[in-house]
Structure 1
Amino acid sequence: MNFASIRIITDDIDRLVEFYEQVTGVTAERPAPVFAEFVMPTCTLAIGHSKTAQLFGADAVVAGSNRTVIMEFRVDDVEAEYARLKPAVEDWVQEPTTMPWGNRSMLFRDPDGNLVNLFQPVTEDAMKRFAGR
């Protein structure tokens, strides 16, 4: 089994696509006006308009209601990403901090309130854990 993607459902797809293009540096593929994908080497982030949620069942998905998932992106330099994104991000949860498990991490919310973590392994143990991933 291969993990294929994570999908965010939103009422404002253009706003979220623009935000994640800025965060990831990847241009979204837009096979339909109500759907976008950020295809990256290790994962795909998909964004669908709330109109697409009807395809999954009446109340299966509610846009902007997630408070339990953290989308995590490994980066080369957390400090550089923080400086680059500071003007673009409105809701900072945590400025760059070294976590007990050895990652340098910063957290913020996207325009729909989803939590995003950009992290960099900085301790020897953390770097070993992520070697080859």
Structure 2
Amino acid sequence: MTISLQYANVTVSDVDQSLGFYTDGLGLQITNDVSSGGFRWVTLGTDAQPGLGIVLSVPHAGRSDSEGALLADLMAKGTLPMLVFRSDDVDATFAAVRATGAEVLQEPTDQAWGPCDCAFRDPSGNTVRIAQAPAE
């Protein structure tokens, strides 16, 4: 049996506002842009991992009012799960993301457990970490 991740959903307060962080900063490309019922889901991907998508949507997209409100509260508190990306050049990726105006949580740092990584908050307050890919 083979299993692989197809999508990861990221809740954002404003899809358009978040696109610059994920496209300009992280180099992801829009692979799908769907609107339905007044909401929008934008899927981002990369040629390096075809078939894997990051889906951006607002808290109420496809959810009940109470679920959307709860998710919005968690997002505002910064308690939603973080995303961790791997880069072949963490310093260059750090510079590209910083240029989007994203809040820097940690500059590239060599960690005791191995990787060099950095951290940001996306425009919605989600924590995004970027780790250097290990040398082959």
Provide the TM-score with structure 1 as the length reference. Answer: 0.77
CA distance in 1, matches of 2:13, 2:95: 29
Deviation at 1:23, TM superposition (A): 2.2
Unpaired stretches in structure 1, ≥5 consecutive residues: none
- Could you tell me which residue of structure 2 aligns to residue 59 of structure 1? 67
CA distance in 2, matches of 1:87, 1:121: 21
- Could you tell me which residue of structure 1 aligns to residue 111 of structure 2? 99
CA distance in 2, matches of 1:15, 1:48: 11
Instruction: Work out which structure has the larger RCO, using CA pairs closer than 8 Å and 6 or more positions apart in sequence.
Output: 2
Unpaired stretches in structure 2, ≥5 consecutive residues: none
Partners of 2:26 and 2:97 within 8 A in 1? no
Runs of 4+ in 1 over 4 A off after TM superposition: none
CA distance in 1, matches of 2:95, 2:45: 24
Deviation at 1:90, TM superposition (A): 3.2
Alignment RMSD: 2.4
Deviation at 1:68, TM superposition (A): 4.6
Instruction: Tell whether 2:37 aligns with 1:31.
Output: no
Partners of 2:42 and 2:56 within 8 A in 1? yes
Matched positions, count: 123
CA distance in 1, matches of 2:104, 2:13: 22
What percentage of residue pairs aligned between the two structures are identical? 22
- Could you tell me which residue of structure 1 aligns to residue 123 of structure 2? 111
Partner amino acid, structure 2, of 1:58: S
Partners of 1:98 and 1:105 within 8 A in 2? yes
Q: Secondary structure at the match of 1:2?
A: coil
Matches within 5 A, 1:73-88: 73-88=85-100
